Structure 1
């Protein structure tokens, strides 16, 4: 597709991505108010985020594989419909259990939208040119993440709207995206003969990952690290994932192509993406909670305070995307991003409930810049190594591991934060001469801070503000893993062709004499063709490669 056609289709795709991104960010700042209104707890706060990420993680490789087998445009329309219905249901939830259940359905749509946008863009432009368009993606991600908290805070603070409109607000955007994509997205669709979907592998992967994440969420809270529950859940997860690997190695159309993830560069990119996702999702999701509960700001103010984080994403993704397209080199930018991300988390690890906002803003900007330079460019590394016919499965695989990292990050860091907060609140209440289990302690285990007695409220605020630094220190340690993985990447140059060339045409070691001899032999063996018809045949062949 030419640049103008790509931009027209991109307008609808970017709106779709905007909708998927804003569904998380518009809720993030409002979550303390939402959970407080529904009388939920800290563990339920984490699960509102984790449930959507878990569903998104489990379904991402399935959507990616389906994109290789069926119509990408039709799948995108189905995902938009699923996401829209779930958003309306979330807005109508009457308790936290319903909200978490509906967030699971919304997560299915989120996973589909995120991977299908990447797959469709990969079907339109080459990996090298994709760097420039990834800059657009980064810009939309930044606008959605900046505008989301601001919009969510404003909606939550307006009494005649309320937090439910944080979910309803996505509906007009999805309808607009639907109309634009119907008019502008035109791909040459080719259905493969005897298509088989790997339902067994998809079920085993989803079950194994879900069981592992459930263990991460409940361990050290509902049961001990060394207990029969831990043994059953960890062993069960390992058995399910081992069976999944066995199935994937034998089916014709695997959900996660093992021959791709076994290669050095895709494997390292997946490890780095897993670490970046775990650090970024796990750390950033609690910033809204830090500003509101730990520092006492309103939802709107908390949204404004997260602008440095998103400014870093916007600037870094736009600039690095342009530079990647110009040079074709991607490793230097990913490595710089991983190092900056680690430094940003180290800076945030020192915050407490009295840290100057300027110091917090510098740390957030560094984290955003690191994410902007590394996250989308890691996808390019994997896409650059696979033919167009496997681009969906490959994109789904790296998105799966990135979202898996995010889900694990939210679960692990949420559990750490809950334990730290519980300990600090109990110590603070004892310092006031109040028994933590007495009625005088108020609802210290909930996030309805406004209803607490004034002394208890201050203890809770200090506990959340001081405990948040611990989870950012863990995030910094995880980000170091990304730095190591990126250091081991090969310094490759992104290809300029849409699809991988055949070995015969890409063999640069062949001598000129051998090339002439091969060409002569091929011409002699081939039947004569009308020179007027040949270009048309070539054109048709090229059209088949679009999808």
Structure 2
């Protein structure tokens, strides 16, 4: 009886300690969290700010279309290929060393970008930023999982979503302001004090349980999935690059597009099959044994498609159809920014109100699908209420869908696999973004080419560049200053509007598909108190 009483007392004490830990967080925890959030904000900001400043940069440095293409693609491609690898390395050597390397690469890449005197150096800077940024993005979420239990994680994921949402949607505004009023080089210079602050906070206050050095050096180096790393880097690169240039640099049916595309797809299939063999695979098959986890990953892919595509094309719509300047288009999206940040902050706190994440995720897909479809209501010279208001519902939906992290993490059987699961979701979501952007680009080019060839407007003089659909996006900046009749101008603007509407209709369809994936989700208890072997320690 005494032994039983002792055990009960011990269990009660442990439960009390867990509850106390869950409620009370130390100053070290809070400062480490701020450091990680600051670093994540910079990565998300840079992911969306370059597009709007790229024409100015290319003009200053006499860049070609091909160089501009690679400057835009390098950041996302390098981040995508490295995310799963960073997680695998952090499992072997601890979270902090690869995080420091990622922060260092991003810092150096920002300096290279800021001092660039030609487009080659710009591309090099973006490559370094992408390599480091991919690590920052995924390790921030993995470390957050190390720092918190599953039960309390929704609150901190919600808080971490604030800098992510601000960075994503404020990027075009920052890019427009710096490239117009100061210098595009400040897009990079502004990163340095934020990254330095985040690094110092992480260095002094992030206290994670370390992996024994002898195990790391003697065993884990050999256990790293080197072949898997090579296969995923080569496969993703060969698959994504031709998708990105198809229809613009090379035709879809050309060998330059089809050969690397098919080779990349083959390597990715080989990668998936091979992942059954390593002792510590990048993408272990055990992560795909639950229906809820797989449904969340499918939803993450579609979420990335809609998010990245519309972040790219909504500012262009405001500039091409409403004839706003780059800065004005960014200002028009400010209400969406504000609402998205608010939703990002409170979304995770709504989980208990809905009795879990399933119905909230389904509602999120409904809102996103409806919000994306409503964007097709834009017309020539839309009133300000439409310009400011229509994107808000879309912004609400994409912010709410960051909840996808919960079912992915909850479906993991072993708490130490949480980092790998997060890495899979972020990689798949970013991959979906690249695919969505490619689909949108193909739609835009094809619709514009077909429509402009049948227009009654004479494509001569200032309009001559529009004979080639590949000039359609770069010509947007010229639309506001065209000296042509209002009838001819409206005809050209209507063609642009048709392109954007087709993109919105397509992404609305994908939103409906995302809603269907949410029907496969099942509620998994979020009351887990387990912490991984690299947990936060005082």
TM-score normalized by the length of structure 1: 0.83
Let me know the Cα RMSD of the aligned residues: 3.1
The offset of 1:399, in angstroms, is: 0.6
The offset of 1:321, in angstroms, is: 0.9
The within-5 A match list for 1:40-439 is 47-96=70-119, 98-158=121-181, 161-191=182-212, 192=215, 194-195=219-220, 196-221=223-248, 223-226=250-253, 228-229=255-256, 231-324=258-351, 329-375=356-402, 377-386=403-412, 387-425=414-452, 431-432=457-458, 434=460
Task: Summarize deviations over 1:444-496 as a string: whole Å, max 9, x none.
Answer: 55726349853399576554444222222221122222111111111222133
SS in structure 2 of the partner of residue 316 of structure 1? helix
Task: Summarize deviations over 1:113-141 as a string: whole Å, max 9, x none.
Answer: 11111011100111221111112122222
C-alpha separation between the residues in 1 aligned to 2:67 and 2:452?
18
Query: Where does residue 529 of structure 2 map in the other structure?
Result: 497
C-alpha separation between the residues in 2 aligned to 1:134 and 1:145?
16
> Cα–Cα, structure 1 residues 545 and 13, in superposed 2: closer, same or farther, change >3 Å?
closer
Task: Summarize deviations over 1:179-200 as a string: whole Å, max 9, x none.
Answer: 1112211111114551121121
SS in structure 2 of the partner of residue 111 of structure 1? helix
Task: Summarize deviations over 1:213-233 as a string: whole Å, max 9, x none.
Answer: 223223344555455555533
Is the 8 Å Cα contact of residues 42 and 445 (structure 1) preserved in structure 2?
Answer: no
The offset of 1:245, in angstroms, is: 1.3
Deviates further, 432-441 or 89-98: 432-441
Query: Where does residue 521 of structure 1 map in the other structure?
Result: none
SS in structure 2 of the partner of residue 492 of structure 1? coil
Is the 8 Å Cα contact of residues 65 and 255 (structure 1) preserved in structure 2?
Answer: yes
C-alpha separation between the residues in 1 aligned to 2:31 and 2:417?
25
The offset of 1:257, in angstroms, is: 1.6
SS in structure 2 of the partner of residue 286 of structure 1? helix
The within-5 A match list for 1:387-536 is 387-425=414-452, 431-432=457-458, 434=460, 444=471, 447=474, 449-450=477-478, 454-455=483-484, 458=489, 463-499=495-531
> Cα–Cα, structure 1 residues 7 and 230, in superposed 2: closer, same or farther, change >3 Å?
same
Is the 8 Å Cα contact of residues 50 and 410 (structure 1) preserved in structure 2?
Answer: no
Task: Summarize deviations over 1:99-121 as a string: whole Å, max 9, x none.
Answer: 34432322112211111110111
The offset of 1:397, in angstroms, is: 0.7
Residue 25 (structure 2) pairs with residue 3 (structure 1): yes
C-alpha separation between the residues in 1 aligned to 2:45 and 2:105?
16
C-alpha separation between the residues in 2 aligned to 1:338 and 1:10?
29
The offset of 1:327, in angstroms, is: 6.5
Is the 8 Å Cα contact of residues 266 and 385 (structure 1) preserved in structure 2?
Answer: yes
C-alpha separation between the residues in 1 aligned to 2:375 and 2:210?
48
Query: Where does residue 22 of structure 1 map in the other structure?
Result: 45
Is the 8 Å Cα contact of residues 434 and 440 (structure 1) preserved in structure 2?
Answer: no
> Cα–Cα, structure 1 residues 544 and 152, in superposed 2: closer, same or farther, change >3 Å?
closer
> Cα–Cα, structure 1 residues 480 and 42, in superposed 2: closer, same or farther, change >3 Å?
farther
Is the 8 Å Cα contact of residues 36 and 446 (structure 1) preserved in structure 2?
Answer: no
Is the 8 Å Cα contact of residues 280 and 475 (structure 1) preserved in structure 2?
Answer: no
C-alpha separation between the residues in 2 aligned to 1:450 and 1:94?
26
> Cα–Cα, structure 1 residues 365 and 121, in superposed 2: closer, same or farther, change >3 Å?
same
Deviant stretches of 4+, over 6 Å: 41-44, 439-443
C-alpha separation between the residues in 1 aligned to 2:473 and 2:120?
15
Task: Summarize deviations over 1:485-515 as a string: whole Å, max 9, x none.
Answer: 1111112221331348xxxxxxxxxxxxxxx
C-alpha separation between the residues in 2 aligned to 1:150 and 1:253?
42
The offset of 1:25, in angstroms, is: 3.4
> Cα–Cα, structure 1 residues 446 and 278, in superposed 2: closer, same or farther, change >3 Å?
closer
C-alpha separation between the residues in 2 aligned to 1:353 and 1:38?
34
Deviates further, 78-87 or 489-498: 489-498
Task: Summarize deviations over 1:2-26 as a string: whole Å, max 9, x none.
Answer: 4234322111111111111111233
C-alpha separation between the residues in 1 aligned to 2:52 and 2:459?
33
TM-score normalized by the length of structure 2: 0.84
Size of the aligned set, in residue pairs, is 501
Name structure 1 gaps, 5 residues minimum. Answer: 501-542
The offset of 1:76, in angstroms, is: 1.3
